[in-house]
Structure 1
Amino acid sequence: MSTLVIVESPSKAKKIQAYLGAGYTVRASLGHIRDLPASKADIPARYAAEPWARLGIHVQDSFRPLYVISRGKAKVVRELRELARGANRVLLATDPDREGEAIAWHLMVALGLKGSVERMTFHEITREAIQAAARATRPLDYALVGAQEARRTLDRLVGYGVSPTLWTAVGPKLSAGRVQSAALAALAAREHARMAFVPADYWRVTARVGAGRPFTAVVLSVNGQRLATPKDFDAGTGQLAADALLMTPEQADRLVAFLRARDATVTGVERAPYTSRPPAPFTTSTLQQEASKALKFSPKHSMDVAQRLYENGFITYMRTDSPALSDEALQAAREAATALFSEGSVPARPRTYAARGANAQEAHEAIRPAGRSFRAPDDTPLTGDERALYDLIYRRTVASQMTDLTGTRTVMHLKVGAVALGATGRVVHDPGFTRLYQDASEGDGDETQALPDAEVGAVLPVRDAAAEERKTPAPGRFTEASLVRALERAGVGRPSTYASILSTLDARGYTRVVRRQLTVTWVGLLVSAYLAGSFADLVDAGFTASMEADLDRIAGGALTREAYLTRFWSEGLAGTIGRAGRAAPVLTVPRVPGATVTVQDGTPLLRLHGRSAPLPADLVPDDLTPDVAEQVLNGERKAAQRASGGKRARSGGARTSRARSSRKAARPK
Structure 2
Amino acid sequence: MATLVIVESPAKAKKIAGYLGQGYVVCASLGHVRDLPGSKGEIPERYRQEPWAALGVNPATFTPIYVVPPAKRQTVRELQQLARTADAVLFASDMDREGEAISYHLSRLLGVDQPVRMVFTEITKDALQRALQTTRPLDLRLVAAQEARRVIDRLVGYRVSPLLWNSVGSKLSAGRVQSAALMLLAARDMARMTFRPATFWVIRAAAQTRPAFTATVTHVRSKDHPAGRPIAKASDYTQAGVLKEGAQVLVMTGEQASALSAYLDGKDATVTRVDLTETRSRPAPPLITSTLQQAGSRLNLSARRVMDVAQTLYEGGYITYMRTDSPALSDEALSEARREAARLFGPGAVPSQPRQYATRNKNAQEAHEAIRPAGTTWRAPDTVGLTGDTLAVYTLIYQRTVASQMHDAVFDKTVVTLTCGAATLSAQGRVLKDAGYLRLLQDDAGDPDDQNLPALTPGQQVPLRARPPEGKTTSPPTRYTEATLVQAMEKAGIGRPSTYAQTVSTLQTRGYARLAGRHLAVTAVGLLVATYLARQVPPVMHRDFTATMETGLDDVAAGHTTRVDYLTRFWTEGLAPIIGRASHEAPSLPLPHLEGTRLRAAASGPHLVRGGQAAPLPPEVIPADLSEAEAVAIMQGGWTPPKQRRPRGAAHPDTSQAARPRKSMKAAPHKPRGAPKRKTKP
Shorter-chain TM-score above 0.5: yes
Tell me if the contact between 1:358 and 1:488 (Cα under 8 Å) persists in the aligned partners: no
After TM superposition, the structure 1 = structure 2 runs for residues 231-246 of structure 1, keeping only pairs within 5 Å, are: 231-238=235-242, 242-246=247-251
Q: Percent identity?
A: 53
> In the alignment, does 2:285 pair up with 1:285?
no
What do residues 52-108 of structure 1 show as CA deviations (whole Å, max 9, x unaligned)? 221111122x21100000221111111100100101110000011000000000000
Distance in 2 (CA, whole Å) between partners of 1:198 and 1:213 is: 40
After TM superposition, the structure 1 = structure 2 runs for residues 75-474 of structure 1, keeping only pairs within 5 Å, are: 75-114=74-113, 116-223=114-221, 224-238=228-242, 242-292=247-297, 294-439=298-443, 445-474=447-476
Residue 305 of structure 1: CA displacement? 0.3
Tell me if the contact between 1:208 and 1:464 (Cα under 8 Å) persists in the aligned partners: yes
Tell me if the contact between 1:424 and 1:449 (Cα under 8 Å) persists in the aligned partners: yes
Between the two proteins, the alignment pairs up a number of residues equal to 637
RMSD (Å) for aligned C-alpha atoms: 1.7
- Map of 2:36 onto structure 1: 36
Residue 240 of structure 1: CA displacement? 7.9
Q: Which stretch of structure 1 is more off in the superposition, 231-240 or 536-545?
A: 231-240
- Map of 2:677 onto structure 1: none
Tell me if the contact between 2:209 and 2:454 (Cα under 8 Å) persists in the aligned partners: no
> Which secondary structure does the structure 1 equivalent of 2:176 belong to?
coil
> Which secondary structure does the structure 2 equivalent of 1:351 belong to?
coil
Task: Note the residue ranges of structure 1 that are not aligned, 5 or more in a row.
Answer: 641-656, 658-669
Residue 152 of structure 1: CA displacement? 0.3
Tell me if the contact between 2:279 and 2:412 (Cα under 8 Å) persists in the aligned partners: yes
> Which secondary structure does the structure 1 equivalent of 2:464 belong to?
strand
The residue type paired with residue 39 of structure 2 is S
> Which secondary structure does the structure 1 equivalent of 2:490 belong to?
helix
> Which secondary structure does the structure 2 equivalent of 1:466 belong to?
coil
What do residues 332-388 of structure 1 show as CA deviations (whole Å, max 9, x unaligned)? 111110111011100001100111113011111000000101100000110000000
> Which secondary structure does the structure 2 equivalent of 1:571 belong to?
helix
Residue 45 of structure 1: CA displacement? 1.8
> Which secondary structure does the structure 2 equivalent of 1:69 belong to?
coil
Could you say if the C-alpha distance between residues 182 and 440 of structure 1 is closer, same or farther in structure 2, counting changes exceeding 3 Å?
Answer: farther
Tell me if the contact between 1:617 and 1:639 (Cα under 8 Å) persists in the aligned partners: no
Residue 296 of structure 1: CA displacement? 1.3
- Map of 2:567 onto structure 1: 565
Distance in 2 (CA, whole Å) between partners of 1:564 and 1:546 is: 11
- Map of 2:72 onto structure 1: 73
Tell me if the contact between 1:210 and 1:461 (Cα under 8 Å) persists in the aligned partners: yes
Tell me if the contact between 2:210 and 2:454 (Cα under 8 Å) persists in the aligned partners: no
Residue 447 of structure 1: CA displacement? 2.8
Residue 605 of structure 1: CA displacement? 0.8
Residue 238 of structure 1: CA displacement? 4.6
After TM superposition, the structure 1 = structure 2 runs for residues 508-527 of structure 1, keeping only pairs within 5 Å, are: 508-527=510-529
> Which secondary structure does the structure 1 equivalent of 2:277 belong to?
strand
> Which secondary structure does the structure 2 equivalent of 1:54 belong to?
helix
Tell me if the contact between 1:587 and 1:597 (Cα under 8 Å) persists in the aligned partners: yes
Could you say if the C-alpha distance between residues 24 and 501 of structure 1 is closer, same or farther in structure 2, counting changes exceeding 3 Å?
Answer: same
What do residues 393-413 of structure 1 show as CA deviations (whole Å, max 9, x unaligned)? 010000000000111222211
> In the alignment, does 2:62 pair up with 1:59?
no
- Map of 1:660 onto structure 2: none
Task: Note the residue ranges of structure 2 that are not aligned, 5 or more in a row.
Answer: 222-227, 643-658, 660-682
- Map of 2:651 onto structure 1: none
Tell me if the contact between 1:355 and 1:361 (Cα under 8 Å) persists in the aligned partners: no
Residue 172 of structure 1: CA displacement? 0.7
Distance in 2 (CA, whole Å) between partners of 1:200 and 1:63 is: 55
- Map of 1:645 onto structure 2: none
- Map of 1:665 onto structure 2: none
Residue 285 of structure 1: CA displacement? 0.2
> Which secondary structure does the structure 2 equivalent of 1:407 belong to?
strand
Q: What's the TM-score once normalised by structure 2's chain length? A: 0.91
Q: Which portions of structure 1, spanning 4 or more consecutive aligned residues, are displaced by more than 4 angstroms?
A: 237-241
Distance in 2 (CA, whole Å) between partners of 1:10 and 1:445 is: 48
Could you say if the C-alpha distance between residues 286 and 596 of structure 1 is closer, same or farther in structure 2, counting changes exceeding 3 Å?
Answer: same
Distance in 2 (CA, whole Å) between partners of 1:377 and 1:345 is: 19
What do residues 542-564 of structure 1 show as CA deviations (whole Å, max 9, x unaligned)? 12201111111111111111001
The residue type paired with residue 11 of structure 1 is A
Distance in 1 (CA, whole Å) between partners of 2:361 and 2:478 is: 22
What do residues 230-285 of structure 1 show as CA deviations (whole Å, max 9, x unaligned)? 12333225568644333333322222222222011111122211111100000000
Distance in 1 (CA, whole Å) between partners of 2:326 and 2:241 is: 44
Distance in 1 (CA, whole Å) between partners of 2:534 and 2:82 is: 52
Residue 222 of structure 1: CA displacement? 2.2
The residue type paired with residue 554 of structure 1 is V
- Map of 2:633 onto structure 1: 631
Tell me if the contact between 1:614 and 1:638 (Cα under 8 Å) persists in the aligned partners: no
> Which secondary structure does the structure 2 equivalent of 1:470 belong to?
strand
Distance in 2 (CA, whole Å) between partners of 1:349 and 1:55 is: 55
Tell me if the contact between 1:614 and 1:639 (Cα under 8 Å) persists in the aligned partners: no
> Which secondary structure does the structure 2 equivalent of 1:167 belong to?
helix
Tell me if the contact between 1:93 and 1:120 (Cα under 8 Å) persists in the aligned partners: yes
Residue 214 of structure 1: CA displacement? 1.2
Could you say if the C-alpha distance between residues 440 and 610 of structure 1 is closer, same or farther in structure 2, counting changes exceeding 3 Å?
Answer: farther
- Map of 1:599 onto structure 2: 601
Residue 440 of structure 1: CA displacement? 7.5
> In the alignment, does 2:49 pair up with 1:45?
no
- Map of 1:664 onto structure 2: none
Distance in 1 (CA, whole Å) between partners of 2:46 and 2:32 is: 23
Tell me if the contact between 1:520 and 1:620 (Cα under 8 Å) persists in the aligned partners: yes
Q: Which has the higher contact order (CA 8 A, sep 6+)?
A: 1
Distance in 2 (CA, whole Å) between partners of 1:225 and 1:65 is: 67
Distance in 2 (CA, whole Å) between partners of 1:366 and 1:77 is: 33
- Map of 2:486 onto structure 1: 484
The residue type paired with residue 194 of structure 2 is A
Distance in 1 (CA, whole Å) between partners of 2:192 and 2:404 is: 38
Q: Which stretch of structure 1 is more off in the superposition, 280-289 or 483-492?
A: 483-492
Tell me if the contact between 2:290 and 2:500 (Cα under 8 Å) persists in the aligned partners: yes
Tell me if the contact between 2:319 and 2:373 (Cα under 8 Å) persists in the aligned partners: yes
> Which secondary structure does the structure 2 equivalent of 1:518 belong to?
strand
Distance in 1 (CA, whole Å) between partners of 2:482 and 2:531 is: 22
Distance in 2 (CA, whole Å) between partners of 1:618 and 1:576 is: 34
